[in-house]
Structure 1
Amino acid sequence: MATAVRGGKLSDMFRALQSRNYRLFFVGQGISLIGTWMQQLALSWLVYRLTDSVFLLGAVTFSSQIPSFLLGPFAGVLADKFNRHKVLLVTQTLSMLQASTLAALVLTDTVQIWHVLALSALLGTINGFDIATRQAFVVELVERREDMSNAIALNSSLFNIARLVGPTVAGLLIAAVGEGVCILINAVSYIAVLGSLLLMRLKPFERVKKQHRVWQSLREGLSYTFGFPPIRALIIIVGLISLFGMPFTVLLPVFARDILQGGANTLGYLMGASGFGALAGAMFLAQRKSVIGLGKVIIFTMSLFGLALISFSFSEVFLLSLVLMLVSGFGMIVTMASCNTLLQTLVDDDKRGRVMSLYATAFMGMAPVGSMLAGSVAEHIGVAYTLLGCGFLCTISVIPFAIHRPRLRRMVQPIYERLGIVPEIATGLQTASNLTAPPEER
């Protein structure tokens, strides 16, 4: 009980920052992520301004995220075999070069839609390796294992502070000076994350003696992930929310301009509201001391996310739309971050990179499929009905996971007893995993 009370203190919300390397990572990533969100909004507005095509909005998102789906599992093998610190230095440098090239094209007014598609595909390829490596690298930065869940929650907070600030600033800048400046700022922002990586003091990298070929390592990771229902369940629920829920970001420029009769600043406010809600959700998770009860939270917040999207699809009032975006952001990030926390706690260290690459594949890889489908459907039935369908599918997809709660609880119990984790925490993890059982386990 004393632990639970202590967990409610404000200081515990930031306990992972006591680790020097994680603190550097937190600051560098924070600056870079603001630039990333600025570029994302600028790119969406640029594409819609140039083409007036919802389909091409979906196509750009597809090209930027589908490489994560194709390369994610191989990236996990890389993250388990090689020095993650050096891999991140390479991926972040390449991302800076991609943003610089795109900024030059936009600022010189020579950009064409094929440039955007090609450079988005390049960034997606880089991210395919970066995301899985970054997720696994966090473990090396936190000095105390018990602070891991807090670090993951703070990562989500950071991501969504940037999601709040970046689009809002970008919306104002686009209206004043155009999209190119936003993309240029993103290119410059990579200096911060590269600097933070270079300043870290890390333990010497030790290559795993037991080396397997890539295909053998990949098969081992897939078997481990999908052979154990609790881990498989978490991966599936992330994939479902990405497939059905994430396409709302592709449709936002259309809502901002054509339904709410606004401009780039309106789009920035909508994305900022979603970011504010997601930030609130991340802080809600950061103040939690343990994972007890996360399963019920996942069911509630995924349902909340779907219902908020349904309501947003009917709204033609700007203020109401802002509130609904705030609620949707809260629901989405709490669901995603809770799944991430549970996975990081359940997975074996020697397979962490591969499992987290499959998490990234489900998160980033299913979203482009949903985006292309949403863009295509919206061309025929309109964005409002498309988003209504997305929200409905997101809401009902959580039902099977709730049904299998007791059986998955029994599966997780022996693992946490063997690891010596406090029984109360084990129960919470079981409960959370149980709630995310896959449909085929009925």
Structure 2
Amino acid sequence: MSTGPGADSAPAPSPTTMFSSLKIRNYRLFAIGQVVSNTGTWMQRIAQDWLVLTLTGSASAVGITIALQFLPMLLFGLYGGVLADRLPKRGLLLATQSAMGATGAALAVLTLTGHVEVWHVYLTAFLLGMVTVVDNPARQSFVSEMVGPDQLGNAVSLNSANFQSARLVGPAVAGVLITAVGSGYAFLFNGLSFLAPIAGLLLMRDSELHKVERAPRGKGQLREGLRYVSTHPELIWPIILVGFIGTFGFNFPIWLSAFVDDVYHSGAGTYGLLNTLMAAGSLAGALLAARRGTSRLRFLVGAAVMFGLLETVAAFAPGFWIFALMMVPIGMAGLTVNVTANSSVQMATEPAMRGRVMSLFMMVFVGGTPLGAPVFGWITDTYGPRIGFAAGGLISLLAALGIGVMLARAGGLRLKVDLRPGHKHLEFVPRERLATAA
């Protein structure tokens, strides 16, 4: 007999396969809604960046737009996690998804009527960021309520695959729309696309959700979340790593738009192509992560090292097609970092703390953008796209190596170097084992 609402009807947890989470009805409704709204979101991102570049001719202005969108996460992200732990996540998501659709519709009206100005884009980006403060931790932590702990890692990976599938379609469609009729219709599609996740949330069966005890209203919950993370090395170091990657390594709207405009002297279609190629690599990375089902911290560090190295090399690619094709492995490595860190942090966190922990995760991952985007916009404008891109990759690489060392120390590991044929040349092993071997 079931022990309570949300218990699985099967007597034993189903095995994890690449798409196993989609067998769960509530998650399937969620995923369908998200792929539609994610497509609209990517269309708006491309249209927004290109509109700002068209209106101003400045990569710095694109950086300011991105900064305004993510600044609220930096300032208020932790409070969003407190709300996500206190309130019913399904109702919270209905409110946030409706508000996000409204911002897209407002920008569409301004653009299609010919009244749009740069400050309008800045304002809507900031308002969207304010809604995201609550939407992100609620959406991230709601996944566990839909699928339960056994399928959590798979569902997190499929969420990323969902997002990247939309990223394959969105930029391509946005490029066509911008070239043919302008940015306004991309904004309109984004506003209407949020009807899909709202419908999915309304159609869910509450009895099939895995109930999580909500945090009671009280003082000190923000500090409690920070103390919880600070005492768990398996949480704090992955969060710091994604903070470095998000702040310094994920400024692609600045770099790619500048490469297209200043280096390759092309238009919106080429910008959409570069984003599509990166999305193809990201989708492959997400599907491989879903198939693995487990998240190891050493794999996270390795993916972060590869990500920083690939960015640094791509910055000096001698021709367009070499640069374009390098977007595929960069997308794969970047997505692997994100998914592996996300799932490892969620699975290492107690359910009652998950909203606050994930708000901190998202705050440092996307909240660092207001700090990094204007800086790299200025570097790109002053020293050129190649120097800006290389600087972001090099900082990401050094951060990954440094945090890899800290994680090894926290886990009582040391790097073993063995140059003998037939042996692993580089391997992390327990300190005691290394001492015995010596």
In 2 relative to 1, CA 409–146 (structure 1 residues): closer, same or farther, beyond 3 Å?
Answer: farther
Query: Does the CA contact (< 8 Å) of 1:82 and 1:207 recur in 2?
Result: no
C-alpha displacement of 1:316? 5.0
In 2 relative to 1, CA 104–206 (structure 1 residues): closer, same or farther, beyond 3 Å?
Answer: same
Task: Name 2:375's counterpart in structure 1.
Answer: 373
Task: Name 1:246's counterpart in structure 2.
Answer: 250
The reply to whether residue 127 of structure 1 matches residue 120 of structure 2 is no
Q: Structure 1: how far apart are the matches of 2:378 and 2:215?
A: 47
List structure 1 runs of 4+ shifted beyond 4 angstroms. Answer: 204-210
Q: Structure 1: how far apart are the matches of 2:139 and 2:130?
A: 15
Query: Does the CA contact (< 8 Å) of 1:88 and 1:130 recur in 2?
Result: yes
Task: Name 1:78's counterpart in structure 2.
Answer: 83
Task: Name 1:114's counterpart in structure 2.
Answer: 119
Q: Structure 2: how far apart are the matches of 1:207 and 1:21?
A: 16
Gaps of 5+ in 2: 1-14, 414-426, 431-438
Output the amino acid matched with 1:99. Answer: G
Percent of residue pairs identical = 35
Query: Does the CA contact (< 8 Å) of 1:277 and 1:325 recur in 2?
Result: yes
Query: Does the CA contact (< 8 Å) of 2:212 and 2:351 recur in 1?
Result: no
C-alpha root-mean-square deviation of aligned residues, in Å? Answer: 2.1
The reply to whether residue 189 of structure 1 matches residue 177 of structure 2 is no
1:409 pairs, out of 411, 415, 423, with: 411
Task: Name 1:179's counterpart in structure 2.
Answer: 183
Query: Does the CA contact (< 8 Å) of 1:276 and 1:326 recur in 2?
Result: yes
Greater share of helix: 1
Deviations 1:256-288 (A, max 9, x none): 122112110000000001111100100110111
Query: Does the CA contact (< 8 Å) of 1:304 and 1:327 recur in 2?
Result: no
Query: Does the CA contact (< 8 Å) of 1:84 and 1:133 recur in 2?
Result: yes
**1:380-391 equivalent positions in 2, closer than 5 A:** 380-391=382-393
Task: Name 1:164's counterpart in structure 2.
Answer: 168
C-alpha displacement of 1:100? 0.4
The reply to whether residue 66 of structure 1 matches residue 68 of structure 2 is no
In 2 relative to 1, CA 198–209 (structure 1 residues): closer, same or farther, beyond 3 Å?
Answer: closer
Query: Does the CA contact (< 8 Å) of 1:260 and 1:316 recur in 2?
Result: no
Deviations 1:337-387 (A, max 9, x none): 100111111001110100000011011101221111101222222221111
Q: Structure 2: how far apart are the matches of 1:379 and 1:323?
A: 24
Task: Name 1:416's counterpart in structure 2.
Answer: none
Output the amino acid matched with 1:128. Answer: V
The reply to whether residue 103 of structure 1 matches residue 146 of structure 2 is no
Query: Does the CA contact (< 8 Å) of 1:75 and 1:132 recur in 2?
Result: yes
Deviations 1:302-344 (A, max 9, x none): 1221122222222352211221111111111101110011111
Task: Name 1:420's counterpart in structure 2.
Answer: none
The reply to whether residue 288 of structure 1 matches residue 274 of structure 2 is no
Task: Name 2:234's counterpart in structure 1.
Answer: 230
1:346 pairs, out of 348, 353, 368, with: 348
1:334 pairs, out of 333, 336, 344, with: 336
Query: Does the CA contact (< 8 Å) of 1:374 and 1:386 recur in 2?
Result: yes
The reply to whether residue 302 of structure 1 matches residue 304 of structure 2 is yes
C-alpha displacement of 1:405? 3.9
Task: Name 2:5's counterpart in structure 1.
Answer: none
TM-score, length basis structure 2: 0.88
Q: Structure 2: how far apart are the matches of 1:207 and 1:403?
A: 36
The reply to whether residue 39 of structure 1 matches residue 41 of structure 2 is no
Query: Does the CA contact (< 8 Å) of 1:260 and 1:317 recur in 2?
Result: no
Output the amino acid matched with 2:245. Answer: I
Output the amino acid matched with 1:141. Answer: M
Q: Which has the larger radius of gyration?
A: 2
Task: Give the secondary structure class of the aligned counterpart of 2:220.
Answer: helix
Q: Structure 2: how far apart are the matches of 1:362 and 1:175?
A: 35
Query: Does the CA contact (< 8 Å) of 2:215 and 2:352 recur in 1?
Result: no
Gaps of 5+ in 1: 1-8, 412-430, 435-442
C-alpha displacement of 1:217? 0.5
In 2 relative to 1, CA 146–348 (structure 1 residues): closer, same or farther, beyond 3 Å?
Answer: same
In 2 relative to 1, CA 278–201 (structure 1 residues): closer, same or farther, beyond 3 Å?
Answer: same
TM-score, length basis structure 1: 0.87
Task: Name 2:206's counterpart in structure 1.
Answer: 202
Q: Structure 1: how far apart are the matches of 2:57 and 2:109?
A: 23
**1:306-317 equivalent positions in 2, closer than 5 A:** 306-315=308-317, 317=319
For these two proteins, the number of residue pairs brought into alignment is: 401
